Structure 1
Amino acid sequence: MGRAAQWLSLAMGCTAAVTCAVAATLVARRAAAWCRWSRAVEVVRGFEEACATPTERLQRVVNSLAVEMFAGLASEGASKVRMLLTCIDALPNGSEEGIYYVIDLGGTSFRVMRLELGSGSMVINKKVEHQPIPEKLTKGTSEDLFDLIASALKNFIDREGGKDVGMTLGFTFSFPVRQASISSGSLIRWTKEFSIEETVGKDVAQCLNEALARNGVNLQVTALVNNAVGTLAMGHYYDEDTVAAVIIGAGTNASYIERSAAITKCQGLLTNSDLTVVNVEWGSFRPPQIPLTPYDICFNNYVKCNQYDQAFEKMISGVYLGEIARAVLQRMAQESDVFGTSVNCLSTPFIFSTPCLAAIREDDSPDLIVVSRVLKEHLKIQDVPLKTRRLVVRVCDIVTRRAARLAAAGIVAVLQKTGRDGTLCGTTKVRKIRGGEPKRSVVAIEGGLYQGYSVFREFLNEAVDEILGDEIASTVCLRLMEEGSGIGAALLAASYSSTRQNSA
């Protein structure tokens, strides 16, 4: 072989070697990339398995919550749900008339409302204004918080050209309160973003009354109600078959109409009827059938509360769903490079809101353009591949599905407690219509999560039908109530200021 041929052979050998080396490098990189992708997928798969809510498991959640409700009515401290008595033994019936004012406090903002009622279940006129609460006041002093509210009401009345003399005030206060009468009640504890410790144990209606006096407003609280109770009152105002109300928004809770005879812990309580409205306070329920995932527990490291506190609320309500999804996305970023290197925002608590989660889950565009925009604008993550965007949608779907189906289980538990689910208060597993004409049961629902997030609403409605079965589900109506908590407070103030005087 000539020297030229030898060089050619050597060159070809080197080229082959380089080609093999490059190929091997590419294969290794692809294998590594696939491994990292697989780890991200495994994070999501594990989360999905932990959040599974098959119908049978939901039924066990229903039974557990119903048992807790029975225990909570038997004695104080016997249950994970407080079953607070509201001192309300009658609901609005449509005969209420006049002009009423309302304060609605339940989160980082509050509402002031002026409502004009006409007979025959008619709201003639309504005026509402929203007022934000500076963060420092949610952790400041009781006097500062209630002075802000009283001042806002005074300015509202002045702008409306109204007079406060002789007017009636309803106060929606969406935190656990132990009521002594329809117009008074002491704060048990703050939830959500509030932590004004000096207010705990105080009569919050009196706190507002004193602030109103300091600000020159000639009004006093006539009805102190929880937002779920207000929604129940509004639901009953329009439809007397309304037996319960549920809040599914920033927080979650339920109220319902209970037989007074079933409330062992208040035997001897003077009422004008055999019915009493109960504020369930189901946010503190801890369903033993549903495991808390690391993503549920971890944010308690920077929220100062017990890791199991308000477990039901933290798996359902709008304050927390986006945060759960963020924690999963952060774990995906830690396990892989699916989001690239710009993932610093994923370590910021509560930067990913539930409206962002909803926008991602409801994106039905072929290339998931909304998902891309939300990741870029809110998490500063750019150029996310389509397959990763699909994985993000899957995370948001898992969080949404579990939340909605657990809320559905809560609704059925209330129906079961009142004998409206076809099981004779849970004593039989067979759900069917018994006796003569089936009872119609209306559940009033208020809250932005249910109202504004269509996928959540679909999952919830579907789960209620699954648990109840077709026959019983046909007798249950879930009815959306807008601003039910505030309007309901006005209705109860009207009702109790006219023919039914409170005992305080």
Structure 2
Amino acid sequence: REEGLFYGLDLGGTNFRVLRVQLGGIEKHVVNRESREVSIPPQLMSGSSSELFGFIASELAKFVADEEKCANVLSNGKKRELGFTFSFPVKQRSVASGTLVKWTKAFSIDDAVGEDVVAELQTAMEKQGLDMHVAALINDAVGTLAGARYYDRDVVAGVIFGTGTNAAYVEKANSIPKWEGELPNSGDMVINMEWGNFCSSHLPVTEYDRELDKESLNPGEQIYEKLMSGMYLGEIVRRVLLKMSLQSSIFGNIDHTKLKTHFLLRTPHISAMHHDETPDLKIVAEKLEENLEITGTSLETRKLVVEICDIVARRAARLAAAGLAGILKKLGRDGNAQEQRSVIAIDGGLFEHYTKFRECLEITLGELLAEYASKSVAVKHADDGSGIGAALIAASQSQYRNVE
């Protein structure tokens, strides 16, 4: 119901996004939105907490400064409200505070672990002279769920398939064994699954996955994520190509320096090769040369590279679909004696840009569900869902404070 300008900050991978949303109330919903994406310098991902949050705050201040050009749309001089999407495991004790449990993906900033990330950001913004209040701390899965459910009440889950992966869904509060205290008035509760850390003996882990995990910043953790998220798919393909090249002559007599470099082959590179439809697989040849300095490959070798990309991406998509089916099964929406529409909102670059991954995920989900559910379940892309969700939750917290 709230009207005015609200902000979202989405930090979860190698980039972060700042977002400004103008809400028009219950009738007009989102009137306008603007966003900016910023790459995080690699050295800040393993530096100090003050350096990382200082950089984020400075970029946020630049973004806010641009609003002076349209200052007439500010809400009566109110303090700026920010929803902070922080997509790493936190121990959250209130809507606007949470201590970092551990880093995932490519981050390793020791002095931030155990600290309140909201306080760190608030301090950094104050140093920048930025008059902004962090109204809510969420993660990208919860933000995607909130943003999508704002438009469609049939949305039951928000899921991220990007640099990392996570999911959140709406559960009946009386179905939560860990719940303590009074039940919420709505009877519902959002469950942040942190499913990237799921591990099971049933997962199809290979020698390449085991070596990748052993050499990662967080060995033994985030196994599900390491099998299917955007940060790791290119690296898995690189490791397969390296072993094949060392044990055979598929690439000829090459210098293996590049091929031995960790994370040199990224998921956008394997996506481009996987989607190559040129008769001679010209794009595959270009990517091998540009990224790995492999030249003079035969057409048969290039076809083999595409097949490896397909195997790795298909495994990821089918594992992703299994996770979605698990949520629907838990909610009783997997086709067993129910007729309600169920929507899963998905955000993240892997789902958005890797077409074959997305198509395989959707086909597999249909295979896993009972006949009726495959028709009543919809998967939709939630464009910038987590950023909008963060701004919406900030707006809702602002409204509650005004009521109080």
- Report the TM-score, using the length of structure 1 for normalisation: 0.76
Query: Residue in 2 aligned with 1:109?
Result: 15
Counterpart position of 1:313? 225
- Residue number among 337, 348, 357 corresponding to 1:433 in the alignment: 337
User: Displacement, 1:393?
Assistant: 0.8
CA contact (8 A) 2:104 2:218 kept: no
In the alignment, is the contact (CA less than 8 A) between 2:7 and 2:390 conserved in 1? no
Deviation track 1:14-73 (CA, whole Å, cap 9, x = no partner) reads: xxxxxxxxxxxxxxxxxxxxxxxxxxxxxxxxxxxxxxxxxxxxxxxxxxxxxxxxxxxx
Partner residue, 1:122: 29
Aligned equivalents of 1:259 and 1:500: distance in 2?
26
Deviation at 1:501, TM superposition (A): 7.7
Structure 2 counterpart of 1:391, one-letter code: L
Q: CA deviation at 1:219?
A: 1.4
Q: d(CA) in 1 for partners of 2:155 and 2:32?
A: 23
The Cα shift of 1:168 comes to 1.1
Aligned partner of 2:361 in structure 1 is 460
Q: SS in structure 2 opposite 1:400? A: helix
Q: How does 1:435-450 map to 2 (within 5 A)?
A: 438-450=339-351
CA contact (8 A) 2:106 2:217 kept: no
Q: Distance in 2 between matches of 1:305 and 1:160?
A: 40
Q: Distance in 1 between matches of 2:402 and 2:104?
A: 31
Moved beyond 6 Å, runs of 4+? 500-503
Q: Retained in 2: the 8 A contact 1:241–1:440?
A: yes
Aligned counterparts of 2:214 and 2:90: Cα–Cα separation in 1: 27
1:152 matched to 2:59:
yes
Tell me, yes or no, if structure 1 residue 405 matches structure 2 residue 311: no
TM-superposed deviation, 1:97: 2.0
Asked if 1 retains the 8 angstrom alpha-carbon contact of 2:108 and 2:217, the reply is no
Amino-acid identity (%):
47
CA distance in 1, matches of 2:62, 2:94: 29
Distance 1:121 1:410 in 2: 34
CA contact (8 A) 2:49 2:112 kept: yes
How many Å separate the matches in 2 of 1:364 and 1:406? 26
Does 1:96 pair with 2:2? yes
Q: CA deviation at 1:269?
A: 5.0
Q: Distance in 1 between matches of 2:154 and 2:195?
A: 22
Query: Quick one: distance in 1 between partners of 2:143 and 2:227?
Result: 24
Structure having the higher Rg: 1
| TM superposition shift of 1:190 | 0.7
Residue from 185, 188, 191 that aligns with 1:275: 188
Q: Which residue of 2 aligns with 1:136?
A: 43
Partner of 1:244: 157
Shift of 1:238: 1.0
1:190 paired residue number: 103
Structure holding more strand per residue: 2
Provide structure 1 residue ranges, at least 5 long, that are not aligned to the other structure.
1-94, 423-431
Aligned partners of 2:2 and 2:377: how far apart in 1? 27
8 A Cα contact 1:103 1:171, kept in partner: yes
1:28 equivalent in structure 2 = none
Partner Cα distance (1:228, 1:478) in 2: 15
Name the amino acid aligned to 1:105. L
Distance in 1 between residues matched to 2:255 and 2:143, nearest whole Å: 43
Instruction: Rate the CA distance shift 1:466–1:343 in 2: closer, same or farther, 3 A.
Output: farther
Match of 1:18 in 2: none
Alpha-carbon offset, residue 239 of structure 1: 0.4
Partners of 2:202 and 2:278 in 1: how far apart? Answer: 36
User: Aligned residue for 2:331?
Assistant: 418
The answer to whether the 8 A contact 2:174-2:183 is kept is no
SS at match of 1:318: coil
Q: Quick check: 1:106–1:174 contact (8 Å CA) kept in 2?
A: yes
Q: What do residues 227-248 of structure 1 show as CA deviations (whole Å, max 9, x unaligned)?
A: 0000000110110100101100
TM superposition shift of 1:121: 5.4
Q: Could you tell me whether the CA contact under 8 Å between 2:334 and 2:370 is conserved in 1?
A: no
The count of aligned residue pairs is 396
Residues in 1 aligned to 2:200 and 2:357: alpha-carbon distance in whole angstroms: 20
Q: CA deviation at 1:500?
A: 6.6
Do the aligned partners of 2:103 and 2:109 also contact (CA within 8 Å) in 1?
yes
Q: Equivalents in 2 of 1:359, 1:111: separation in Å?
A: 24
- Which residue of structure 1 aligns with residue 385 of structure 2? 484
CA contact (8 A) 2:9 2:19 kept: yes
Match of 2:240 in 1: 328
- In 2, the alpha carbon distance for the partners of 1:226 and 1:324 equals 26
Return closer, same or farther for 1:132/1:98 CA change in 2, 3 Å cut-off: same
User: What secondary structure sits across from 1:257 in the alignment?
Assistant: strand
Counterpart of 1:331 in structure 2: which amino acid? K
CA separation in 2, counterparts of 1:148 and 1:501? 32
Whether contact under 8 Å (1:496, 1:502) holds in the other structure is no
| Distance change (3 Å), C-alpha of 1:211 and 1:468 | same
**How far off is 1:502 after superposition?**
11
Question: 2:121 & 2:78 partners in 1: Cα distance?
Answer: 17
Output one character per residue of 1:366-408: Cα deviation in whole Å (capped at 9) or x when no partner. 2211111111111111111111111111100000000000000
State the 1:222 CA deviation: 0.5
* Aligned-partner Cα distance in 1 for 2:48–2:402: 32
Give the Cα separation in 1 of the matches to 2:110 and 2:189.
30
Whether the aligned pair in 1 keeps the contact of 2:164 and 2:231 (CA below 8 Å) is yes
1:254 aligns with 2:180: no
Q: Does 1:265 align with 2:169?
A: no
Whether the aligned pair in 2 keeps the contact of 1:212 and 1:220 (CA below 8 Å) is no
Aligned residue type for 1:339: F
- Mapped pair 1:474 → 2:381: no
Task: Tell me, in whole angstroms, the C-alpha distance in 2 between the residues paired with 1:446 and 1:415.
Answer: 18
Between the aligned partners of 1:406 and 1:459, the Cα distance in structure 2 is 10
Preserved contact between residue 121 and residue 238 of structure 1 (Cα < 8 Å): no
Equivalent-residue separation in structure 2 for 1:374 and 1:141 (angstroms)? 35
